[in-house]
Structure 1
C-alpha cells in the first residue's frame, strides 16, 4: 500500500495501479462519505484490504479505500456465538480479540494476513469435508451500496440477500462490518507425514470422510505426497506445541529461507528443478503436535509466489489431480512449488466455488519471478473439462460468458448488482470481465 500519489501493488506482484485518490476511512460513516464523493466526481471506488488476491479483483483505478484503519471488534453476543468486526480487521488479529470470550472461527485457510472482508469476498477457504469456506461463517454484514446507502443483511433484515453479499466480490457494495458465526475455542492435533503419492490419492476421499481436516501437497517430479491431518479437540485438551527451535527450522529456515534460494536457483537453471524437488521431498519430515486452532491452521509464508486454484466436484478430485500430474509430465514443466489439494463442504452461497456441491481444490503455484502463463493456462483448460470453477482471488482467465453456466444463481447475482450498484460505482476491469458490464 502507498500513500496518495503512489502506486498500489498486490502481494503477489501480479497487479498494480496508480489510483486517482487514496483514502483511509476509519468509520462506516467515512466510507459512506467516500462513496458519495466518488459518485459526485464520476470516479469508481474500490476497497482494499491486505492485497493478498492474485487476481485484479481489488484494483482501484479511481478512489482506493484502504481499510487499514477500519478495524477492531464491534460487539460480541457470547450466548449466540456471534461477533461483529470492522471490515478491515485482519484474520491474524481475530484470535486475540476473541480470546476473552472463549470463541474461535470454525475454520481457516493456511494464510491469515487477509482482511476479513477480503477473505469472504473472494471465497477464501480452508479444508475439511464438513466445513465450508470462510464466507459460510458469515451471519450478517453491513455495507454501503453504490448509491451511498447503508444496507444491513442478517437474519432479521434482508435475510434473503445473505447468500449473495457474504461472497460478493466487492461488486455489491463496500463492506463496513462483518458478523461471524463462531464456535467454542478449540485445539487441533496435527499429524504431518510423507507417503507415496499414489497411495495418498487413492485413499484421500476416505481420509477426508474420516477426518476433520485433511489436505496434501505433491512435489512435482517426485512420487511423494505430504499428507496433513488435523483432529479437533476441546480447548481444555493438553497441548504439545512444536518446540520453538524445531518450528523455526521447519517453517522459517527450510520452508522460507532455503525454499526461496531453491526457487531462485531453479529459475536460473530450470534443469536442476527436478532434483531439487526430489531433495525437498526427502527432507520433508514427520511432525505431530497439538496447539490452538489458529496456530495449526495457519503458517507464515515468506516466499513470494503466484497462484491459480480450481474447484472441481469432490467425486472427480482424484481423476482431476491425476490428469494434472500427467499434463506436467507430458509438457515437461519444471515446477519448484508443490501442488496443494484440499476439500470443502457444499454450501448455498450464490458465487461460492462450492455452491451446490461438495468440492475438491487443486492449487498450483509459481515463483513470483517466473512467468506463470505457460504453466497455469494449460492446467486451467484441463480443469475446465472437470466442471472446474476458478477461485475469485487467484489468477484465471475466465469471463462472464463462460462463468454463467457454472453458477445456477449467476443471473440472480448480477440482477442484485443492478439493484445495489446501478451506476457501477464499484466497477473495475476484473469485475467487468467476470460479471459483465
Structure 2
C-alpha cells in the first residue's frame, strides 16, 4: 500500500541545462516506490499535474513541470545480475552506471555522446548513439518498473504487461513514473577511435560507405565550409590492450580546443556575426587527426561545456545525403551565421512504437545554436527539409510538430496513445508540451 503524503505548498525555481525551459514548481524527492505512488495519488486527488524529471538535459519542454515535479535522485543504484542483466534505479546518472558496469566487467552496447542524463530521462526521450547495426538505449531494455497515476506499481517485460513494456521503452514520461529499469549489458569491450578531417562533398558522394566503414561512425559538418570532422570507432576486445590518449592531449583537445576555444568562437560570433564564417573555418581545422583505444564508454562520451540549443531529426537513412545537401544549399542561400557544427549519426531500425528509429533504418541530423539565442530560420529550415522525407524529431530536442503531424510520421502512434489513455486517462502526468505532441488525455 502506498504511503500517505502531503504535496509541498512552497515552490522552487527550476531550469533545464540550456536555460530555455524554466518554471516555479512544487518539488518532491521520493525515497521509495511507495512514496512515488503516494505523490501521484495525492496529486491526482487534488487535480494537480505531475512531471518527472532527470538531469534536465532536454531542450524541449517535455520535462517542464507545471504544478508538481518529481525528482528521482533518491532512486539510484546499480545491481548487476547473471548474464549481464543490470537493474538500475531510474534516477541513476548514466556516468555512474557506466563506471559500475566497467568495474564489474560489463558495458552497454551503445551510448549517446553525453552521459549526464539519468537512465529514466534518457529512456523517456529516446536517447541513442551511432552505428548502422546498433539501436538506441531503448533496445537494451529488458524490464521496466513503472508507477501509474492511480498508484499501481507495474513490473513489465516482454511477457508481463507486454503492451506497457513495449510503449514504455520510449515513454515520454506519459505512461507513469519509471522507477527502475533492467538493461541487457554485454561483456566490457574497448573502442579503437580514429578521428580526422573530411569533406562534406565526399561524405554525400559515398554516404553508405563512410557510415558503415566500421562499427560506430559519425561526422560533424561545419556550416560555411565543406569541412567535416569524422569519428570512426571500432569495437575491439579489452584483451588486445588499451592505448588511451596521453593526459596532455586529452586535455588540450577536449577541454582547451573543443570547449574553451570553441566557447570563445561562439562568443565572438555572437558579438560580431560577420566573424562566424572565418571562425568556422578555423574551428574546422583546429581538431587534427588522432587515434586511441580506451574503454567503450570513455570513447562514446564527449564533454559538452558550451551550452546550446539543439534540434535533431531522424530521417530515413537512404534520404540522408539529399537532406544534408539541401541543408547546405539553404544555409548558403540564407546567409545565416552558425558557428556550431551539424552532427550526423546512424541507428538501426527497432520495434519501439515511439522510437525515432521505429520500423526503419535511420540517420540523425542535429543542428545547434548557442544557448540564449533565437534559432529562428535555421531550425525552421531543418524542420522543413527533414519533414519532406517524413523526419521524426528527437523527443528531447526542439521542434514545432503536433500530434496530428506526428501521427502521420509514426505508424504505431495510436498504439502508444491507447496505453497512455488507459494508464493516465485524466492526464495527471501531462503538461502543455505533451498535450501538443500527443493530444490531450481523454479525461482532461
- What's the TM-score bracket when you normalise by the shorter of the two chains? over 0.9
Which residue, 32, 46, 64 being the options, matches 1:59?
64
Corresponding residue number in structure 1 for 2:359: 356
Corresponding residue number in structure 1 for 2:38: 33
Q: Return the alpha-carbon distance in structure 2 between the equivalents of residues 284 and 151 of structure 1.
A: 48
Corresponding residue number in structure 2 for 1:133: 136
Q: Return the alpha-carbon distance in structure 1 between the equivalents of residues 411 and 422 of structure 2.
A: 19
Q: Return the alpha-carbon distance in structure 2 between the equivalents of residues 293 and 285 of structure 1.
A: 21
Cα-to-partner distance string for 1:206-228 (whole Å, 9 max, x where unaligned)? 13233100000011111111110
Question: What SS is found at the alignment partner of 1:30?
Answer: helix
Alpha-carbon offset, residue 338 of structure 1: 0.4
Q: Return the alpha-carbon distance in structure 1 between the equivalents of residues 285 and 317 of structure 2.
A: 29
Corresponding residue number in structure 2 for 1:193: 196
Q: How does 1:245-284 map to 2 (within 5 A)?
A: 245-284=248-287
Corresponding residue number in structure 2 for 1:230: 233
Q: Is the 8 A contact 1:212 1:232 kept in 2?
A: yes
Q: How does 1:17-416 map to 2 (within 5 A)?
A: 17-19=23-25, 21-73=26-78, 75-79=79-83, 81-416=84-419
Corresponding residue number in structure 2 for 1:436: 439
Alpha-carbon offset, residue 157 of structure 1: 1.2
Question: What SS is found at the alignment partner of 1:7?
Answer: strand
Question: What TM-score, normalized by structure 2, do the two folds share?
Answer: 0.95
Alpha-carbon offset, residue 100 of structure 1: 4.0
Name which of structure 1's ranges 202-211 and 252-261 shifts more when overlaid on structure 2.
202-211
Q: Is the 8 A contact 1:146 1:422 kept in 2?
A: no
Question: What SS is found at the alignment partner of 1:64?
Answer: strand
Q: Is the 8 A contact 1:146 1:426 kept in 2?
A: yes
Q: Is the 8 A contact 1:200 1:227 kept in 2?
A: no
Q: Is the 8 A contact 2:220 2:228 kept in 1?
A: yes
Tell me how many residue pairs correspond in the alignment.
432
Alpha-carbon offset, residue 281 of structure 1: 1.2
Q: Return the alpha-carbon distance in structure 2 between the equivalents of residues 369 and 120 of structure 1.
A: 27
Alpha-carbon offset, residue 200 of structure 1: 2.1
Q: Return the alpha-carbon distance in structure 2 between the equivalents of residues 341 and 183 of structure 1.
A: 26
Tell me the C-alpha RMSD between the 2 structures. 1.2
Unaligned runs of 5+ in 2: 1-8
